[in-house]
Structures are given as structure tokens and as C-alpha cells.
């Protein structure tokens, strides 16, 4: 499984090339700053830095980009905790408990928890990658469209457990999101729902829509609030409390471990990645908790579950990218572009011929994760000051920056207009108890669901049952899905009976 | 016997549900107008029908009993609602005018308007912060992004 010769060659490579280490710190800082800025995604941060790597050697270039990846992964949790604005879809679940913690004046603790979980998740994922890169690459190669469809449906159904008070409203939000996610060209060449607007041919712009649903809608709802944290004494910045948040993380080893495993496995599946893993990990942690009702109200375990999973997804996505040459998302697509810039083709032949480089990348990511703890601690301390800013400064500023980001992503007014439309929709949904996260995930997965269902239909010739029988992997995923739903129902009933038993006469 | 109605109408919820239902129906009809082949409607048609059934289940919640559990927005004053709507209008104006009047002018006007909506009553603070923020944002963001933002003054 582990080739010791390649491992020692990797150590030699890293110790002989100092320039590989020189780019670690700038990469992390760039990633943290960009990740924490609303409207700038991990992909954008890496895309901005990509031209700079042209003049670097291959290994330092990739290490620099992965450092940005790691830094931005945690950076995204800073606005998620402080402003309920996930920098990327992978930080959606971080907002569920991170933001309520901030609203309760526990922002330092929440950031400390998020940092430690990110570091541990990242370390765990690269450790797993180190041990399992061979077997994982074989497994991912066997995933067909039916399996991909099953995984995406599983992710969608899990939102039922995150739907809050009204189950029907949660399901409608998810279904509406999926439908919006299928607007434009489908993979069979049909154009639907564009209303004659050219920029809708490629579908609803996802990032501006996500920014509108999750970020701008919340800011509109905050217009009548003076400060992010109403209690003035709770707005104090405390280095000690951030450290206590880090210590608190170690009291949840199983949450970290589960999150890391989910993150690696889901992150390894192309196209799904951290946007699902953080929700899946959050949902599983809530389901297994003794006090599931405390989730969504500021339970640190929710932040740990989400952050451990989204940071460990990086290791999974890197595994797929290195082993198969398939990018799991935008960030790994940029890494593959960096490979190409250096005339290197990722995939099975790369991993077979350059195991020393693969192990060197894994080791440098161990170093990145450890360094992130210290750099992130300083960054958190600075970033926490944002809660001291009165909201009449923060709301207009963040809305404008989000509009700039939406424009930069789309390169036209389509971005800001999409952001505006979805901000109204998100604001209205929040007012009447519709879970916005369900619509966001539906929107992200709509295209994936349709194209995989379509491929399954084409391959099976319409005979799904016969085809499914030949795909034991898909059947296992469906069985796991049904099992997890059944477990959820049982735990809900158990909780309800506990509650009724505990009620005073 | 009481003359009070036993049910009320949550108008905002009714508007939201109507928007969702109308969008789903319009999308389904548009998709069916393009083609009725399974490769077009495989996901859209069953999911649209599912969404409409769900909407029918939710509809009674739009007309709750007077003594039913209150919606999350209960207790909001008319002024607070007007502030939200004013912010939405300002955001819409920003989105539609960014390219026409330039990012610098649109950003400055949006900042001044929304700071006032959010409660900043000191006009010199409002204008000073808006101007400073606009300049910093235009030059800062312009440095890190390769996209040419249309400008009028700066």
C-alpha cells in the first residue's frame, strides 16, 4: 500500500528544494484573506494566483496552490460564523451553528472550534489519502451515473432532516431548488426555462444565486438590527476564548473522525464534494447526538462536524484528481490546469510514475495544516473585530462587495441581477419558515441529478430495475440511504417519546 | 357567538407560495412546449408535479387559525417591513444600474441610501464613509480582479 522508496524520495525532494516551503505561508494567507471575503470563492482565489505559478517549478507551484486551497477552506468559515455568509457552498453547514454561536456572543469560541476542526480534518484527510490513495482510486473509477444519482439524491433527502419545523416547506424548497438548477441546456440538448434570456442558457448562475439566497437575504433581514451581536459586552474580542474554542474541539473526537471520513469519501466523488459532505456530516452528527434539538441554536458540535468534513474533502478531491485526473470541483480543476501549465498530465500514469511527487504533496499538506493552526489563530483574532462594526456600515459594505463578486464571477450584470432575485426569494423563504439551504443544495445539484438520471435512462434503455440489479454499488448506496432515513425516523420518534415522557403533568 | 373570523390570511406567505407555484407551472409548460420526450422531462415533470402536491399541502398554512402558532415574522412593525423593502429596492437599483451609470457612482449612491435606510442619521458620516468605501473598493477590487468594471468618475 505504501511504497517506502517513494516516501524517502519525497522527503529528499522536499528537503532539497527550499522554494517549496517558501510559498506555504503566502499561499495560506492569500487563501485566508480571499476565503474570508464575501463573494470570492476558493476557485476564484486559486484562479487569481494561477498565472503567478507559471514561473515556479512544478512542486512549489502545486504546493502554493494547495496552500491557497487549504487557507481559503478555513477562511470561508470566518464570514460563515460572523455574518452567516458562507464563502462557498462547503461552509453552508458551518452557518447553522456557527452563526447562532456568534449571535450569542460566542464568536471567539466558534472561530476557535472552526479552526481546530479544519486543521484536524485536513490532517486526517491527508493521512487517509497517504494510506488509501491506491484503493480509493480503484473505487471511484467504478462509480457510474446511477451511483452518482443515488449519492446526489441521498444528499437531497438528508436536507429533510435539516428542514426545520415544516417538513413540506423543506421538501418544496429543495424541489424548487432542483428545478431551478435544471434551467437552460440539459445534457440531451433541450433548452428550458430561459425566458429568452441568453445568459440563462448555461443555467442559473449558481454562485450569485447562492450569495443571494444565503447572504444578501440574511442582510436584508438584519436591516432593523444595530449590531451583529446585540449584547455590547459580548462583542469583546478574546484570544483566550478562541484558544478555549480550540480546546473544546478535542472533546468531540468522534465528531471529528466521522466528519473526516465523510469528507474524504464524499470529497473523492467528482462533482459532489465538500458542498454535500459538510451537510451530510452535520446531519449525521445531529442524528447521533443526545441533544439534537440544540443543533441550529449554537451547538459547537455542529460547527466541528461541518468544518471537519469540508476541510477533509480537500484530501478526497485531491485523491481523485491525482489518481484519475478527474477534478472534483473548480479548485481541483485549477490544480489540473497548473499541471497542464507545467506539461504534466494528471491521472493513473502520473501517480504510477511520480509517486515521490504525490507523497511530497501529501507531506507538504501535513505541514500546511499545522501551519494553518498558527496563521489561522492570528487571522481569526484580526477577523473577529468585524463583529464590532455597527451593522449600518457592514450591511451596505457587504452587499456592495457581494455585487462586485457576483459581477466578477459572471463578467456581466447577470451576476448582480441573479443575486438580487435570489436575495428576495431567500428573504421571503426565511420569513415563512422555508429552509434556504435546501433550495441552495437543490440548485447546486439540479444539473447533476438530471444528467446522471438521463445517463442511467440511456444506458438502461428505460429498464431501471434490471440495470440497478447489475449495479450492486448503487443498490448499496440506496440501501444506506434508506437505512439512514429509517434511523432518522426512529431517532425522531425516540426523541418525541423522550420529550413527552419528560413533560410535567 | 363571536363575529371574529376564525382564520386569517398571511399575505406575504400567500405571495411567496403563489410565486413558487406559478414558476413551477410556467417551467413545466415551457419544458413540455420544447419537447415531450423522456430525455427532456425525465426529472422535470415528476418533480414539478411533486412540488405542486407539496404546495397544496402547504396552502392551508397560509390561512392559519387565529390561535395557531405564529409565523417567524410575527411582531414585525410596518416601519421595519418598509425598511426591508427599501433595502431590496436599493439592491435592485444597484444591480440594474451598475453598468449604466458606472460602478463608482452606483456604489456611492447605494452606500448613501442604504446607510440612511439602516439608520445612519449623521449625513456627514454617511457621505464621508460612502465616498471613502467606494474609492477603496473600486481601486482595491480593481487590483485583484481582471474584469474591467465600467466607471464614470474614478
Query: Are residue B19 and residue B30 in the same domain, yes or no?
Result: yes
Residue reference for cell 477533509: A312
- In this prediction, residue A237 carries a pLDDT of 64
pLDDT category at A449 given cuts 50, 70, 90 is: confident
At A75 the three-state DSSP class reads: helix
Query: Are residue B121 and residue B58 in the same domain, yes or no?
Result: no
Q: How far is it, in rounded angstroms, from Cα A149 to Cα A155? A: 10
Q: Is residue B152 part of a domain?
A: no
Last residue of a domain, one of B25, B47, B75: B75
Report the alpha-carbon angle B33-B34-B37, nearest 5: 100
Helix (H) or strand (E) holding A31: helix A24-36
Query: Are residue B57 and residue B102 in the same domain, yes or no?
Result: no
Query: Are residue B4 and residue B69 in the same domain, yes or no?
Result: yes
Q: Is residue B2 part of a domain?
A: yes
Minimum Cα–Cα distance from B97: chain A residue = A413
Last residue of a domain, one of B75, B91, B112: B75
Q: What b/e readout covers A415-426, taking b as 16+ CB neighbours within 10 angstroms?
A: bbbbbbbbbbbb
Per-position pLDDT tens, chain B of length 154:
455 557 888 899 999 999 999 999 999 999 999 999 999 999 999 999 999 999 999 999 898 887 666 665 656 788 889 999 999 999 999 999 999 999 999 999 999 999 999 888 899 999 999 999 999 989 887 776 666 788 888 7
Query: Are residue B85 and residue B52 in the same domain, yes or no?
Result: no
Residues 6+ apart with CB under 8 A from A352: none
Query: Are residue B112 and residue B123 in the same domain, yes or no?
Result: yes
Kindly tell me the sign of the dihedral angle through the C-alpha atoms of A233, A238, A242, A247.
negative
Last residue of a domain, one of B75, B110, B136: B75
Query: Are residue B3 and residue B63 in the same domain, yes or no?
Result: yes
Residue A189 neighbours by CB distance under 10 Å: 9
At B68 the three-state DSSP class reads: coil
Q: Is residue B154 part of a domain?
A: no
Q: Which domain holds residue B121?
A: 78-144
* Chain A partners within 8 Å of B110 (Cβ): 396, 399-400
A457/B42 Cβ within 8 A: yes
Q: Is residue B150 part of a domain?
A: no
Cross-chain CB nearest to B71 (options A190, A403, A432): A432
pLDDT category at A505 given cuts 50, 70, 90 is: very low
Distance from CA of A392 to the nearest CA of B (A): 5
Query: Are residue B65 and residue B88 in the same domain, yes or no?
Result: no
Query: Are residue B70 and residue B83 in the same domain, yes or no?
Result: no
Q: Is residue B85 part of a domain?
A: yes
pLDDT category at A380 given cuts 50, 70, 90 is: confident
Cross-chain CB nearest to A216 (options B12, B91, B130): B91
Q: Is residue B151 part of a domain?
A: no
Query: Among residues A313, A319, A297, which one has the least CA distance to residue A263?
Result: A313
Query: Are residue B82 and residue B20 in the same domain, yes or no?
Result: no
Query: Are residue B33 and residue B83 in the same domain, yes or no?
Result: no
Q: Is A401 on the interface with B (CB under 8 A)?
A: yes
- The interface predicted TM-score of the complex, written ipTM, equals 0.93
Secondary structure E strands in chain B: none
Query: Are residue B91 and residue B59 in the same domain, yes or no?
Result: no
Q: Is residue B7 part of a domain?
A: yes
Q: Is residue B39 part of a domain?
A: yes
Query: Among residues A308, A410, A331, A358, which one has the least CA distance to residue A72?
Result: A331
Distance from CA of A486 to the nearest CA of B (A): 21
Q: How far is it, in rounded angstroms, from Cα A442 to Cα A430? A: 16
How many structural domains comprise chain B? 2
Amino acid at each position: 500500500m505504501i511504497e517506502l522508496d517513494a516516501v524517502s524520495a519525497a522527503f529528499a525532494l522536499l528537503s532539497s528544494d527550499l522554494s517549496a516551503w517558501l510559498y506555504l505561508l503566502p499561499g495560506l494567507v492569500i487563501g485566508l484573506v480571499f476565503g474570508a471575503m464575501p463573494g470570492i470563492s476558493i476557485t476564484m482565489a486559486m484562479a487569481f494566483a494561477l498565472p503567478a505559478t507559471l514561473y515556479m517549478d512544478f512542486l512549489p507551484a502545486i504546493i502554493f496552490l494547495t496552500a491557497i486551497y487549504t487557507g481559503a477552506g478555513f477562511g470561508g468559515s470566518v464570514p460563515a460564523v460572523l455574518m452567516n455568509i458562507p464563502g462557498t457552498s462547503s461552509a453552508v453547514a458551518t452557518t447553522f451553528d456557527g452563526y447562532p454561536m456568534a449571535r450569542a456572543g460566542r464568536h471567539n469560541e466558534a472561530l476557535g472550534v472552526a479552526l481546530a476542526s479544519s486543521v484536524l480534518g485536513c490532517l486526517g484527510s491527508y493521512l487517509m489519502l497517504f494510506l488509501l490513495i491506491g484503493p480509493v482510486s480503484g473505487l471511484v473509477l467504478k462509480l457510474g451515473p446511477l451511483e452518482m444519482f443515488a449519492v446526489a439524491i441521498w444528499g437531497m433527502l438528508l436536507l429533510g432532516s435539516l428542514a426545520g419545523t415544516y417538513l413540506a416547506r423543506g421538501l418544496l424548497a429543495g424541489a424548487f431548488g432542483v428545478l431551478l438548477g435544471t434551467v437552460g441546456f440539459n445534457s440531451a440538448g433541450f433548452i428550458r426555462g430561459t425566458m429568452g434570456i441568453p445568459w440563462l442558457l448555461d443555467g442559473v448562475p449558481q454562485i450569485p444565486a447562492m450569495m443571494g439566497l444565503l447572504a444578501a437575504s440574511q442582510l436584508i433581514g438584519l436591516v432593523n438590527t444595530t449590531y451583529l451581536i446585540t449584547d455590547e459586552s459580548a462583542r469583546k474580542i478574546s484570544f483566550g476564548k478562541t484558544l478555549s474554542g480550540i480546546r473544546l474541539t478535542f472533546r468531540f473526537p468522534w465528531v471529528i473522525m466521522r466528519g473526516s471520513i465523510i469528507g474524504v469519501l464524499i470529497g473523492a466523488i467528482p462533482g459532489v464534494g465538500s458542498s454535500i459532505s459538510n451537510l451530510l456530516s452535520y446531519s449525521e452528527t445531529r442524528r447521533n447526538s443526545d441533544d439534537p434539538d440544540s443543533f441550529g441554536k449554537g451547538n459547537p458540535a455542529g460547527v466541528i462536524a461541518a468544518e471537519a468534513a469540508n476541510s477533509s474533502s480537500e484530501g478526497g478531491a485531491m485523491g481523485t484528481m491525482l489518481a484519475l485526473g478527474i477534478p472534483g470541483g473548480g479548485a481541483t480543476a485549477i490544480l489540473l490546469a497548473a499541471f497542464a501549465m507545467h506539461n504534466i498530465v494528471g491521472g493513473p500514469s502520473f501517480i504510477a510514475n511520480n509517486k515521490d511527487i504525490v507523497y511530497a504533496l501529501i507531506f507538504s499538506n501535513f505541514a500546511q495544516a499545522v501551519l494553518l493552526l498558527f496563521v489561522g489563530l492570528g487571522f481569526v483574532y484580526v477577523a473577529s473585530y468585524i463583529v464590532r462594526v455597527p451593522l449600518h456600515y457592514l450591511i451596505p459594505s457587504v452587499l456592495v462587495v457581494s455585487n462586485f463578486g457576483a459581477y466578477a464571477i459572471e463578467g456581466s450584470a447577470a451576476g448582480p441581477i441573479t443575486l438580487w432575485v435570489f436575495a428576495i426569494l431567500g428573504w421571503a423563504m426565511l420569513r415563512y419558515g422555508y429552509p434556504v439551504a435546501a433550495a441552495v443544495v437543490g440548485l447546486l445539484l439540479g444539473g447533476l441529478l438530471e444528467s446522471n438520471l438521463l445517463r442511467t435512462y440511456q444506458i438502461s434503455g428505460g429498464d431501471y430495475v434490471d440495470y440497478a440489479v447489475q449495479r450492486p454499488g448503487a443498490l448499496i448506496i440506496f440501501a444506506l440511504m434508506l437505512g439512514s432515513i429509517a434511523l432518522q425516523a426512529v431517532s425522531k420518534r425516540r426523541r418525541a417519546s423522550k420529550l413527552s415522557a419528560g413533560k410535567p403533568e | 357567538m363571536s363575529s371574529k373570523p376564525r382564520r386569517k390570511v398571511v399575505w406575504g406567505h400567500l405571495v411567496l407560495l403563489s410565486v413558487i407555484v406559478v414558476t413551477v407551472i410556467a417551467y413545466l409548460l415551457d419544458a413540455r412546449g420544447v419537447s415531450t420526450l423522456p430525455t427532456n422531462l425525465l426529472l422535470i415533470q415528476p418533480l414539478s408535479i411533486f412540488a405542486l402536491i407539496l404546495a397544496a399541502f402547504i396552502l392551508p398554512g397560509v390561512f392559519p387559525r387565529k390561535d395557531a402558532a405564529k409565523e417567524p415574522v410575527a411582531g414585525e412593525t410596518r416601519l421595519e417591513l418598509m425598511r426591508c423593502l427599501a433595502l431590496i429596492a436599493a439592491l435592485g437599483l444597484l444591480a440594474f444600474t451598475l453598468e449604466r451609470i458606472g460602478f463608482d457612482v452606483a456604489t456611492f449612491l447605494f452606500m448613501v441610501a442604504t446607510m440612511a435606510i439602516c439608520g445612519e442619521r449623521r449625513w456627514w458620516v454617511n457621505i464621508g464613509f460612502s465616498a471613502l468605501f467606494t474609492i477603496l473598493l473600486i481601486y482595491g477590487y480593481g487590483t485583484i480582479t481582471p474584469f474591467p468594471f465600467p466607471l464614470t468618475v474614478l
